[in-house]
Structure 1
Amino acid sequence: METPQILVTGIKGARYNDRNITALNVPEGKMAFYPFTVVLLSLVIHHLLSVPLTWPSDYHIAHLNSVLTIKCPLEAENIVWNCPAKICKIHQHQKNVTLQGLKHHHAGAYTCFNQDKKTQSYSLYVLILEEEHRLPVHCTVAAYTSTELRCSIAEELACPCLVRAKANSSVIDQNWTEFKISQDRVHSIQFNLTIPEFCPFAEQVNAIHVSVDIITNSDYLTGNQSYYLRDIVTPEAPEIVKVTTEQISWTQPSSWSHSSSFFPLLYEIKVNYRNNTNVPNFLEKQHYSMTDVRKFSVRCRDLFYPGPWSSWRSWAPAH
């Protein structure tokens, strides 16, 4: 499983490691606070373990308020269940667990054991889906020849949570990329995905399908989006080479294809003159002559397809 590049923005909560929890030191003479410390520590441990470390190999997506029966496939009579929040207490020693009117607290791992042979077990992870809600997945690419999608989800999430994502075409099915977020709450997630193999110099026949799934303490969230590269190619800002009072020049972004004749760019320039007027202009060339320039900025997009513009390059003063 490849390691993704991930950026998470949000409110930082308690920091902890998924496998190690630092002991809490209680000053001498404060022994009365130990019960509180133990309770707090147990809550943190439960908070961590309620989200799996990796995506469950066997899971079931259920809908709110539905009925679900989980069947234990073990050939044994003495069955013991381990379930979220003691839900299975009344089902001990039964082969099936029936959940009526599913709610968020029903989410989690359901495991049945052979009480006589504890090594025999079966686990099913129940995910609770809210059908009305879809994750807002947004992806861009820096150039037609790029091999990487830059994706984001602008969504406030209660975490910890486990995320998996992948980009497929109708002819290539890629593996999921997984990562876990340990913060208590986040406002957005950014990550990169590898684009399925294709030829950038040929017409794109098959769309790229991006899928994202998230498991939180109580919810299963999912979203997907399909793209043609021409609609999401968003170049980086051009590089400014020279700005004088009489001439300005720039180059295409370093991430753009060097086959400029095959992937030409349209440039929009903003010129601020010494009389404090701003004059926009659209050009295909990479230089412009004028007089009395104070500062200059430029952005770009695909010349032949009206896709997204790059961001503006920061104002460059004339020398």
Structure 2
Amino acid sequence: MWLATLLALALFPAGDAASAAWGSFPAELSVGELDREATLQCPEASAGQAVCWRKGGGKAVCPRPPRGPTLRLPPLDLSSAGNYSCWAGGTLLGWTFLAVRGLGLPRLLDEAAGVTCEAESYNSTVLRCAWLALRPAAFRLRLRRRGPGGAGAGCSSVEKVVGGRGPTWVELDASACGPECPSAEEVPETGLELELEGLGAGGRFQRMRRRLFWRDLVRPAAPEGLAARQEESTGQLRLSWAPPPSWVRPSSFFPLRFHLRLEFFGNLDREGLLLLSDLYSDRLEETAQPPRPHQLLNRVKIRCRDPIAPSPWSPWSAWAFPQ
């Protein structure tokens, strides 16, 4: 880590450190407000110790009288952003990257669109989150599991570098973020806290936070194994399917509502008009009659949702054709 830091300081002179920084998210980060003073700390320095500071590969500045671990900066602009390192007697004590945020700076992400997250079940180990990036930037998404009284700890983190404007998504390991009991009710004092940070060219910084509850994140995967048979003599349909494999069990505690969309030929020669019919079920099989006598089924698809929460509908399955 220290070798990488020294190399970065050597490669990025004072004017270039910030412009190169958006290619990755720094391990040590400080954030200051545009047009406001800022204070940096050197955690390894002691009070009253003679500490020198260097921005990027620039000349070291040694405050007189010695101010120990503190460096006070005048009101910030984008030229203030960059790598700052603290030294004592030629020994590197620590470093941080100073980023700048403020209303007058171009946005890195669309806060109006926000960030959305989905999980396929209440015991899912994968959380998929998406947002709209507006400019090239390095993004870091972190989740913290809240406990009683607001206490909690980080449970997942992921970083992604985005090359330009467009929808962006990441997958997080959510194995440590889900509720201890999938059927437990979440209350306002618990749940998840999501933090999305963006670091752009020039050291521009943007942060967005929101509160989440696991029950609001669940969107089931599509059901599987959809099969359809139609009796030649009566036209009766026999339909069967299976819940998504990722859905939490048992079904008596975690039911699903199913929505089938059936497409029938509008006439006996199987050409021309196609008619749609919808069927809802809480079971894993159904029998049904076509809307008109002797109508033949062309194809059928299915989706599902948690009817208790209620969750959004899952994606549609692929079309299945009668056997």
Are the aligned partners of 1:164 and 1:179 in contact in 2 as well (CA < 8 Å)?
yes
Are the aligned partners of 1:167 and 1:193 in contact in 2 as well (CA < 8 Å)?
no
Secondary structure of the residue that 2:120 maps to in structure 1? coil
- The 1-side partners of 2:247 and 2:100 are apart by 43
Deviations 1:68-120 (A, max 9, x none): 2547757565x65421585xx6x834357654442233222212333xx2114
Secondary structure of the residue that 1:105 maps to in structure 2? helix
Matched, 1:168 2:145: yes
Matched, 1:233 2:242: no
TM-score (norm 2): 0.70
1:200 to 182, 201, 205: 182
Counterpart in the other structure of 2:81? 107
What is the aligned-residue RMSD (CA, Å)?
3.4
- The 1-side partners of 2:30 and 2:18 are apart by 22
Deviation at 1:196, TM superposition (A): 4.2
**Structure 1: stretches of 5+ with no match in the other structure:** 1-17, 20-38
Are the aligned partners of 1:237 and 1:253 in contact in 2 as well (CA < 8 Å)?
yes
1:282 to 273, 280, 283: 280
2:31 maps to a residue whose letter is: I
Counterpart in the other structure of 2:93? 121
1:112 maps to a residue whose letter is: C
- The 2-side partners of 1:202 and 1:155 are apart by 35
1:139 to 83, 94, 117: 117
1:251 to 220, 242, 258: 242
**Structure 2: stretches of 5+ with no match in the other structure:** 6-10, 65-69, 231-236, 267-273, 291-295
Total equivalences in the alignment: 270
Query: Higher RCO, 1 or 2 (CA under 8 Å, sep at least 6)?
Result: 1
- The 2-side partners of 1:68 and 1:54 are apart by 19
Report the identity percentage. Answer: 20
Aligned CA distance change for structure 1 residues 209 and 151 (closer, same or farther; 3 Å) = same
2:308 maps to a residue whose letter is: F
Aligned CA distance change for structure 1 residues 110 and 153 (closer, same or farther; 3 Å) = same
- The 2-side partners of 1:210 and 1:193 are apart by 14
- The 1-side partners of 2:172 and 2:22 are apart by 26
Deviation at 1:67, TM superposition (A): 2.2
Deviations 1:126-178 (A, max 9, x none): 2212369675221111112324322222223413x252412312254135524
Deviation at 1:186, TM superposition (A): 5.8
Counterpart in the other structure of 1:5? none
Matched, 1:267 2:255: no
Are the aligned partners of 2:139 and 2:196 in contact in 1 as well (CA < 8 Å)?
no
Are the aligned partners of 1:153 and 1:190 in contact in 2 as well (CA < 8 Å)?
no
